[in-house]
A = this chain, B = another copy of it.
Amino acid sequence: MSRTLIELLGDELPAEALVTDPDVTASYAHDMASFCDAGTPAVVVLPRTVEQVQHVMRTATALRVPVVPQGARTGLSGGANATDGCVVLSLVKMDRILEINPVDRIAVVEPGVINATLSRAVNEKGLYYPPDPSSWEMCTIGGNIGTASGGLCCVKYGVTAEYVLGLDVVLADGRLLSTGRRTAKGVAGYDLTRLFVGSEGSLGVVVRATLALKPQPPQQLVLAAEFASAAAACDAVCKIMEGGHVPSLLELMDRTTVKAVNDMAHMGLPETTEALLLAAFDTPDPAQDLAAVGALCEAAGATQVVPAEDAAESELLLQARRLSLTALEAVKGTTMIDDVCVPRSRLGELLEGVERIADKYALTIGVCAHAGDGNTHPTVCFDAQDADEGRRARESFDEIMALGLELGGTITGEHGVGVLKKEWLARELGPVGVDVQRAVKATFDPLGLLNPGKLF
């Protein structure tokens, strides 16, 4: 009689690394996305070593069982959702920081390290790991690599992809591949590192990463500017970027978001505010940069410009932005967070379009945006108990993606495709793009076992 999946996994994994209790495994079934189906895992595996991950992949390949790699499941597109009968491969126990080197400005980490843990550890050595998705206190570096996560820092510092120098990856058949380098530069062969970054666990399982670090910049200083129209705020964004400024943060909240935050946290933001822009600089003389940017905001029609004078005031101004998603969730109980990114010169058109779409579907849609990147998070608020409202929410969500593509943008700036945006990926890539991407997938995972049903 052939041995079972669990028995074979147990050959090289300790009992505590194998979770089969259905009540527990069910809690690993999905990430934080709405509207994404999730299956029932056969088993959750929590390896602690590279060899154990290799054993999982060899076993899965031998038995043709799908494997869903997972970090902290804070994703917003269902990219970590289980499929029926799969092995959930949770990397959260591989959570060691193996090295921090201030001369080479690199860190070597296992995939389960929490983003905030790494950020704090490198700070202690005068270094800076910029990527800061809003889930940074919970999400893992492995998960960040899987979706090439962004955050507030990107307008100056870019996304996770720009900080991944090299990877150790367990391939579908269990072989261990090392990509990239520890050096500042290197062009030996194809850039497979970047191929894995953002591949949502569909090409291999990242078990180690060499990350680039920056020196810790000066404390940033924040400015808030209120506008009587979203268009004026977007115009200010264009003026700031065209003016050659390099803010460390450039965020926008629309009227709906400002109101939601006010309603929840009573922050006393003026009810007349149609858009709030937050800009920050971590330069040697941030006050001077804020003065220049403040003047550009006024030229674009800002009704009020409030520069912070110190770190505490800056943090206070950022609170409104940090509370945005929670506040929008409170509006109707459930949200769908979109992630459309457009060229920043088209930001105004996107915001105008979202307002039109909200009217059309009679929905509340709040937009907060990494405005400097043109990366918006139109957030559809709806009552999950109301089937018709749910349907309208999904339709408006899709219409926003269509608008993003029309404006020369992308359906996802930093959240990934997962299952949520599968059909839309094909639309963005076009037939040749899809063919080539599928061919790449087949090269790395000919049996289609790694995170099946995601992306394509």
Please provide the chain A residues from 175 to 206 with a CB less than 8 Å away from any CB of chain B in the complex. 175-179, 181-192, 194-195, 197-199, 203
| B436 touching A192, Cβ below 8 Å | yes
Q: Assuming the A-B contacts A183-B341, A184-B344, are A195 and B198 also in contact, with contact meaning beta carbons closer than 8 angstroms in the complex? A: no
- A319 contacts partner chain B, Cβ-Cβ < 8 Å: no
Please provide the chain A residues from 26 to 48 with a CB less than 8 Å away from any CB of chain B in the complex. none
Q: Assuming the A-B contacts A154-B184, A443-B440, are A189 and B425 also in contact, with contact meaning beta carbons closer than 8 angstroms in the complex? A: yes
Residues of B within 8 A of A244 (CB): 126, 215-216
User: Which of A11-19, A57-65, A100-108, A295-303 lies on the face that meets chain B?
Assistant: A100-108
| A443 touching B432, Cβ below 8 Å | no
Q: Can you list, as one digit per residue, whether each of A418-446 has a CB less than 8 Å from chain B (1) or not (0)? A: 00010001001110110011011111100
User: Which of A269-277, A308-316, A352-360, A370-378 lies on the face that meets chain B?
Assistant: A370-378
User: Which of A113-121, A258-266, A408-416 lies on the face that meets chain B?
Assistant: A408-416
A78 to chain B, nearest CB (A): 14
Which of B194, B375, B429 touches A189 (beta carbons < 8 Å)? Answer: B429
| A103 touching B246, Cβ below 8 Å | no
- A6 contacts partner chain B, Cβ-Cβ < 8 Å: no
In chain B, what residue has the closest Cβ to A342? B183
In chain B, what residue has the closest Cβ to A212? B158
Q: Assuming the A-B contacts A101-B345, A103-B238, A178-B433, are A187 and B455 also in contact, with contact meaning beta carbons closer than 8 angstroms in the complex? A: no
Q: Can you list, as one digit per residue, whether each of A326-357 has a CB less than 8 Å from chain B (1) or not (0)? A: 00000000000000011111000000000000
Bound: A105/B187 CA distance, A: 26
Residues of B within 8 A of A455 (CB): 189
Q: Assuming the A-B contacts A198-B191, A245-B215, are A182 and B439 also in contact, with contact meaning beta carbons closer than 8 angstroms in the complex? A: no
| B190 touching A104, Cβ below 8 Å | no
| B417 touching A189, Cβ below 8 Å | yes
Residues of B within 8 A of A242 (CB): 102-103
A317 to chain B, nearest CB (A): 23
Which of B184, B190, B425 touches A188 (beta carbons < 8 Å)? Answer: B425
Bound: A245/B127 CA distance, A: 11
Which of B104, B345, B415 touches A103 (beta carbons < 8 Å)? Answer: B345
Which of B159, B186, B408 touches A410 (beta carbons < 8 Å)? Answer: B186
- A283 contacts partner chain B, Cβ-Cβ < 8 Å: yes
A43 to chain B, nearest CB (A): 27
Bound: A101/B374 CA distance, A: 14
A139 to chain B, nearest CB (A): 15
| B373 touching A184, Cβ below 8 Å | yes
Bound: A55/B147 CA distance, A: 37
Which of B161, B191, B285, B374 touches A184 (beta carbons < 8 Å)? Answer: B374
Q: Assuming the A-B contacts A103-B238, A103-B242, are A195 and B186 also in contact, with contact meaning beta carbons closer than 8 angstroms in the complex? A: no
- A241 contacts partner chain B, Cβ-Cβ < 8 Å: yes
A160 to chain B, nearest CB (A): 9
A137 to chain B, nearest CB (A): 22
A288 to chain B, nearest CB (A): 9
| A191 touching B187, Cβ below 8 Å | no
Most chain B beta carbons < 10 A, residue from A106, A342, A410, A416: A410
- A150 contacts partner chain B, Cβ-Cβ < 8 Å: yes
| A104 touching B341, Cβ below 8 Å | no
In chain B, what residue has the closest Cβ to A416? B187
Residues of B within 8 A of A429 (CB): 188-189
- A91 contacts partner chain B, Cβ-Cβ < 8 Å: no
A408 to chain B, nearest CB (A): 5
Most chain B beta carbons < 10 A, residue from A187, A216, A421: A187
| A185 touching B432, Cβ below 8 Å | no
- A230 contacts partner chain B, Cβ-Cβ < 8 Å: no
In chain B, what residue has the closest Cβ to A106? B343
| A183 touching B343, Cβ below 8 Å | yes
Bound: A357/B448 CA distance, A: 49
In chain B, what residue has the closest Cβ to A181? B410
| B344 touching A437, Cβ below 8 Å | no
5 nearest CB pairs, A to B: A215-B244, A194-B194, A184-B373, A186-B410, A185-B413
